Amino acid sequence: MKRYINLMDEKGRDAKLLFSGQPKEKQVFYVAENGLPIQSIRVLKTTLNGSYEGLLANYGSNEKIADALINGDPELDMKRTGMKISGTTRLYITSQLKPAHRVTVHEIIRDTKGEKTSERRVLENESNIIDEIPLMMGQLVKKSLIYNKVVFVKKYQLHHVNGLTFEFLYDIAKQLEDEQSLMIVGAGKNGKDPLVFQDGGKKYRGFLEGRTQGKKYLLVLHLSNLELKDI
């Protein structure tokens, strides 16, 4: 699936661009005794009915659950337990073990004794990388001054989609290379808001790094959510 980002440069030009992650190649491989590679898989332990909540709803008490476990395997679904899982999606359920709709998540604050002190609604962050208001490029920061100020936790490569966006990205990469600097990228009207790549995702500060080689360019968006010192 193609992923897009909306970016504006210092001249007020904006463009919708492709971005992608570059996974690292594995340096260590595990093999079995016969030399064949070992592959990790995810399997289904049990279904909702086999969970503690499901067993409690079915049997009514811990004592009856214990008796059922002694006499059989009520926690196992013989048709589904052990099935390979290729992907998962989080689903909230009610106390009646039914899918919940219009979920509101609350955060409970407790003191050192475990007593509840306050409760507040958790507001999910909304994605803003493809909003009508493009991400804005701001302050230049020298590479030699930033290495001990932030921790980069992710990075994405930006790609052009046509000839015009090639020139757009090449110019940015060339400027950053000549300045030996990273450029801070922010969201919102003033370009000072953090970047959120998906609904419910984390907030990041963005730093663009550019390199060129002839008419080729490399533009990398570094992301940080951990600062060691103020920039």
Q: Residue 34: inside a domain, yes or no?
A: no
Using a 10 angstrom Cβ sphere, with 0-12 exposed, 13-18 middle and 19 or more buried, the burial of residue 91 is exposed
Predicted pLDDT at 1: 65
Measured CA distances, 118 to 121, 168, 173, 182, 229 (Å) = 10, 49, 48, 41, 31
**Range with top average pLDDT, 18-22, 124-128, 135-139, 179-183:** 179-183
What is the chain's percent helix, strand, coil content, to nearest 5? 20, 35, 45
Q: Residue 191: inside a domain, yes or no?
A: yes
Q: What percent of the chain has pLDDT over 90?
A: 41
Residues 199, 94: Cα–Cα separation, whole Å:
23
Residue 103 has pLDDT above 70, yes or no: yes
Confidence band of 6 (pLDDT split at 50, 70, 90): very high
Over residues 55-66, the pLDDT tens digits come to: 998 999 999 999
Q: Residue 180: inside a domain, yes or no?
A: yes
Confidence band of 229 (pLDDT split at 50, 70, 90): low
> Is residue 197 within 8 Å of 45, Cβ to Cβ?
no
Q: Residue 62: inside a domain, yes or no?
A: no
- Mean pLDDT for 101-124 is 85
Predicted pLDDT at 168: 92
Residue 104 has pLDDT above 90, yes or no: no
Query: Residue 212's domain is classified under what CATH number?
Result: 2.40.290.10
Indicate the number of domains in the chain: 1
> Is residue 153 within 8 Å of 223, Cβ to Cβ?
yes
Question: What tokens does 29 get?
Answer: 């491989």
Domain of 202? 4-26+126-227
